[in-house]
Amino acid sequence: MDILPHPVYLLLHVLELAGEGSVEVVSLSVSESGTVHAVVRRGKVTGNLVVTLEGRPVESYLRVVGKNGSLFADYVRSTTQRAIGPGSSGLDKLLAPYRQSWQLISGTTIAMGRRFLKRQRSYPGLAELFSSFYEAIRTNAPSPLSSESLLETVRICERVSEALKQGEARALALAAPKSVDSRGILVTGGTGFLGKEIVKALVSRGRSVRIVARREPSPWDRIGGVEYVIADISAGVEANLFKGIETVIHAAAETAGGWPEHQRNSIDATANVIRGAAAAGIKHFIHVSSLAVLAQPQKGPIGDHHPLEANSKGSGPYVWGKLESERHAVELGRELGISVKVVRPGALISYDNFEPPGRLGKRLGNFFIAVGSSDDKLGVVDVGFAGQFFAWMTETWESVPSPLNLLDPVSPTKRELLDYLRKVNPDLTVLWLPNLILVPLSWLMTFAQKMLRPGRPAINVAKVFSVSSYDASAIKKLASQIRTDV
């Protein structure tokens, strides 16, 4: 609803210029996730409106097709491509793609150059549109957009809003929560990538679940039968949050921002939840940490009891937040008499909807810079398997050791992970950045950080992309038990 008025009034403005008569919404379809398809007619001119938050890459464009050519206006890149004339001859059909390609290349270059020189951050045309409105007010001139167009924009947006509300009501009815019984599970961060899989696995085992989240999820993102509580656990927790709860799975953590955000939403939040759970008499607490908190080994694979990283700030705010959270969790567990078990998932991936883990490399446009060697094995874990493991763990508390490194029983190589990436991105070009180049490059970047940001911790890029081998014998043994139980 925030962005909807922009394409609506643009479409109506063009229809007003091109046709006569009243505006009629011929058809309107709104999906539960908010994708809008509408056919709008004014006189003999018809417009198709499509607005979605799910389509990628991000686009904002207007295409006008007439009897003697077409016009394509790209509002992201500030370009237009014109195809004037009937274009029906064989030569026109042959040359048209080349003319449009040249317009796209030259137009984009000029537009981006103009933005760079003007240091323009807002959308081009936004300031000009505001200026036109103010100028019309000062000079008592007609509005840049007619009152009819503005009123019709509101009417269409209200129809979409009503359709969304009906969809939300249906989704909420389907996701009606069940009361949490005495064996309930509290999941913090239950709306996140890992948290949702944990909750789905718990529900499939017949467990009652309460999710605590900072933001209320959309109705269509809710899981049926689950109770959702909106709370900021970084500011403290209330006693009623733990009513009917047997086990807490603390999966909430900050994933972006700087040091203050990770202090508040990772470290402070962990301490608050453990103290609240202990005060409520809860004995089982699962703390979801990360493999990134472990020190890099001198030799040999990393086991479950490997030492934590000594320089906690050397790998950036995220690792620092996870590391200090784990330390706080273990110390408070001993102090408050609550059984805290630490599970450290590897890099979370989904083989069904693959997104590359950070240590595989970095995507730049249509290129992927893969770091290291293709035979390097990465400590990753499928998010579906991780969710099943945490759900199973709540029912077999004594059989799971702590701490535990949660990995795929067999770690894939970078080459194998890139094969998954290519399946969903067949046009992607992979370029390798070997360690031979990365290490000296990292030295230069560390030196530059110390020069440009004195007093702040310098992030070691080579360390961030370093690859370690892991002893997965414990998780292999447990994984076979999970498959047997399921």
Place of tokens 């018809």: 46
What are 349's strand-pairing partners?
382
**114 has a pLDDT exceeding 90:** no
CA gap 215, 211 in Å, rounded: 11
Average pLDDT for residues 167-173, to the nearest whole number? 84
pLDDT on residue 326: 95
**55 has a pLDDT exceeding 70:** yes
> For the structural domain made of 175-485, what CATH number should be given?
3.40.50.720
Q: Evaluate whether 160 touches 183 at the Cβ level (below 8 Å).
A: no
User: Is the preceding omega at residue 356 within 30 degrees of 0, hence cis?
Assistant: no
pLDDT on residue 447: 78
The structure tokens listed for 119 are: 């240091």
**484 has a pLDDT exceeding 70:** no
Average pLDDT for residues 148-171, to the nearest whole number? 89
**Angle CA(34)–CA(39)–CA(43) in degrees, nearest 5?**
150
**466 has a pLDDT exceeding 80:** no
**Angle CA(444)–CA(449)–CA(455) in degrees, nearest 5?**
140
In 3D space, the residue among 234, 197, 198 whose CA is nearest the CA of residue 213 turns out to be 234
Better-scored residue on pLDDT, 335 or 455: 335
pLDDT on residue 416: 94
pLDDT in tens, 306-339: 999 887 777 788 889 999 999 999 999 999 999 9
CA gap 356, 348 in Å, rounded: 9
Average pLDDT for residues 146-168, to the nearest whole number? 90
Average pLDDT for residues 64-80, to the nearest whole number? 91
Q: Evaluate whether 49 touches 38 at the Cβ level (below 8 Å).
A: yes
Average pLDDT for residues 407-415, to the nearest whole number? 92
User: Is the preceding omega at residue 219 within 30 degrees of 0, hence cis?
Assistant: no
CA gap 313, 326 in Å, rounded: 14
Q: How confident is the model at residue 427 (pLDDT cuts 50, 70, 90)?
A: confident
In 3D space, the residue among 410, 380, 402, 409 whose CA is nearest the CA of residue 482 turns out to be 409
Place of tokens 């940490």: 289
Burial of 324 (0-12, 13-18, 19+ CB in 10 A): buried
pLDDT on residue 117: 85
**47 has a pLDDT exceeding 90:** yes
pLDDT on residue 485: 61
DSSP 177-210: BPPP-TTEEEEETTTSHHHHHHHHHHHHTT--EE
The structure tokens listed for 409 are: 């029983």
CA gap 188, 198 in Å, rounded: 11
Q: Evaluate whether 294 touches 314 at the Cβ level (below 8 Å).
A: no
State CA 358 to chain mean position distance.
Answer: 14
Burial of 62 (0-12, 13-18, 19+ CB in 10 A): middle
pLDDT on residue 407: 94
pLDDT on residue 118: 80
Instruction: Name the class of domain 5-169.
Output: alpha beta
Share of the chain above pLDDT 70, in %: 98
In 3D space, the residue among 403, 399, 397 whose CA is nearest the CA of residue 481 turns out to be 399
What 3-state DSSP class applies to 134?
A: helix
Q: Spell 195-215 as b/e; 16+ CB within 10 A means b.
A: bbbbbbbbbeeebbbbbbbee
**275 has a pLDDT exceeding 90:** yes
Average pLDDT for residues 463-486, to the nearest whole number? 80
The structure tokens listed for 27 are: 């058809």
CA gap 393, 287 in Å, rounded: 12
CA gap 78, 110 in Å, rounded: 9
The structure tokens listed for 447 are: 């030196």
* CB atoms closer than 10 angstroms to residue 245: 22
Average pLDDT for residues 155-178, to the nearest whole number? 88
pLDDT on residue 298: 66
pTM beyond 0.85: no
Q: How confident is the model at residue 219 (pLDDT cuts 50, 70, 90)?
A: confident
Q: Evaluate whether 342 touches 270 at the Cβ level (below 8 Å).
A: no
Measured CA distances, 331 to 282, 328, 424 (Å): 16, 5, 44
pLDDT on residue 404: 95
**483 has a pLDDT exceeding 80:** no
In 3D space, the residue among 358, 364, 368, 351 whose CA is nearest the CA of residue 412 turns out to be 351
**391 has a pLDDT exceeding 90:** yes
Average pLDDT for residues 468-478, to the nearest whole number? 90
**437 has a pLDDT exceeding 70:** yes
Average pLDDT for residues 8-35, to the nearest whole number? 89
Q: How confident is the model at residue 440 (pLDDT cuts 50, 70, 90)?
A: confident
What 3-state DSSP class applies to 237?
A: coil
Residue boundaries of the structural domains of the chain: 5-169, 175-485
Average pLDDT for residues 82-94, to the nearest whole number? 86
Within 8 A by CB and 6+ apart from 379, the residues are 291, 346, 347, 405, 407, 411, 468, 470
**486 has a pLDDT exceeding 60:** no
Q: In what order do the strands lie in the sheet with 23-30?
A: 23-30, 36-42, 45-51
Average pLDDT in the chain: 89
Q: How confident is the model at residue 125 (pLDDT cuts 50, 70, 90)?
A: confident
Better-scored residue on pLDDT, 42 or 297: 42
Q: Evaluate whether 263 touches 318 at the Cβ level (below 8 Å).
A: no
pLDDT on residue 469: 87
pLDDT in tens, 174-218: 888 888 877 899 999 999 999 999 999 999 999 999 999 988 888
Strands 61-66 and 36-42: unpaired
Q: How confident is the model at residue 37 (pLDDT cuts 50, 70, 90)?
A: very high
Share of the chain above pLDDT 90, in %: 55
